[in-house]
Structure 1
Amino acid sequence: VFVVAFLAAVPIIPKHLSHRAYRLSFMGTTCSSLYSLYSQYGKPRAWNMQALQVYFQTIIASKDFIYFVYCLTFVTSHLCLKFALIPILCWSFEHVAKFLRRNFSRSTLYRKYLEEPCVWVESNNTTLNILTSHAEIGLGFLLVLSLFS
């Protein structure tokens, strides 16, 4: 998701490839957040209204559900706002850093080239979250303006 979102944001890439990478990055994030929700919360115990209500009340508060709804909104939209990729890039950046740190911490290649950026990402997590929230606020203003134009 990180590489595809990066390709969608780079202005040098041709427009049709950039648009496909844009949609693919949102689809990939939608699938990964849905899988994360399934692996963390599982399926509902029963398929009646009361059990589904309890199940969704626990899921709605999670960060993965918010990313799922966010990405689902932009996958189904015909607007191509590259600005919407900033939260996806930050989210995938955090996940890539955690994955590399957890699985490749003993590798010499990781220690030589990737340890410092991964430590920077983990130590500046708050900064990435602030960037994400500012991008989401700006995106909200862009969406409101696009309604009137």
Structure 2
Amino acid sequence: METERGNGKRKGEGQMKAEANTKTRYEVADPVKSMGIALFCMFVVSLFLLMLLAFLLYKFDLGAGAVRGGMIAVYVISGMTGGLVLGKRMKKQKFVWGLAGGLLYFVILLLFSLLMKRQLDFDFTNVVTTLILCGASGMAGGMIS
């Protein structure tokens, strides 16, 4: 058993285990686990926002411009959510982790879209715009975390 300095009292085994399991303020989390948690949060937020957008389309018969604006809002809010989660968990280089989360979110969306369409007939401008939106919003979320 180890003694504490100053008062000569001994630490119990439970207290030593608790101290060994606590992280310091600047200790970072597991990157793979953090990315998984952030992506899960991003897709949950996306699901919620897409359901809200579908409801608004149904109720108010919105035009194509409103749908495009809604999709941009979904990308930005989801990306910022993932960036915030990654920034809070990783503690260091938050903007880089947010950018990585946003780009990974974009890649998963692109792969899912390719699987659903089974062909490569994308408008290059829209793909690049979505890539920039996802990456930049993830980075912004990481910076403000």
TM-score in terms of structure 2 length: 0.34
User: Could you say which structure has the greater relative contact order, defined with CA pairs below 8 angstroms and 6 or more residues apart?
Assistant: 2
Q: Computing the radius of gyration over CA atoms, which structure comes out larger, 1 or 2? A: 2
TM-score in terms of structure 1 length: 0.34
